[in-house]
Amino acid sequence: MPLLATLPVAIVATIHTYIFALESFLWTTPRGIKTFGTTPTFAAQTKVLALNQGVYNGFLAAGLVWGLVHPKAEVGKEIQLFFLGCVGVAGIVGGLTSKPKILAVQTVPAILAITGVLLV
């Protein structure tokens, strides 16, 4: 698959791998607290919830990587589109219920990646 399609998908997978790490392992650290705009007290109280949310982001990243490395290009493309759609919807929900910035961080890259995949 050409770089036009694979690079944006790889970027979205990388973003979600980073979010996975932040939510699953760094939630109560200064970096996690700053990234999500929480307080140490709130972070400590919600650590288990963040871990659960982080695992979902890890699954999104894993699905995108699976689509990128799938030996059958057409199947890989379908897998990528499915997981990019999931990322886009998750970003919309997060933007509406948590922070509008999530739309820019998750949904916009997903839409760009979907566009790249569909153009190939």
37 torsion bin: left (phi>0), alpha (psi -120 to 50), beta (else) = left
User: What percentage of the chain reaches a pLDDT higher than 90?
Assistant: 95
89 torsion bin: left (phi>0), alpha (psi -120 to 50), beta (else) = alpha
Whether the CB-CB separation of 25 and 53 falls below 8 Å is answered with no
In terms of Cβ atoms closer than 10 Å to its own Cβ (0-12, 13-18, 19+), residue 52 is: exposed
Q: Is 116 helix (H, G, I), strand (E, B) or coil?
A: helix
Written as one letter, the residue type at 82 is F
Is the model's pLDDT at 40 over the cut of 90? yes
Q: Which of 118, 114, 115 is nearest to 64 (CA)?
A: 114
State residue 5's pLDDT score: 84
State residue 35's pLDDT score: 95
Q: Is 74 helix (H, G, I), strand (E, B) or coil?
A: helix
What is the H or E stretch that residue 52 is in?
A: helix 47-69
- pLDDT tens digit sequence for 79-108: 999 999 999 999 999 999 999 999 999 999
Model pTM score: 0.94
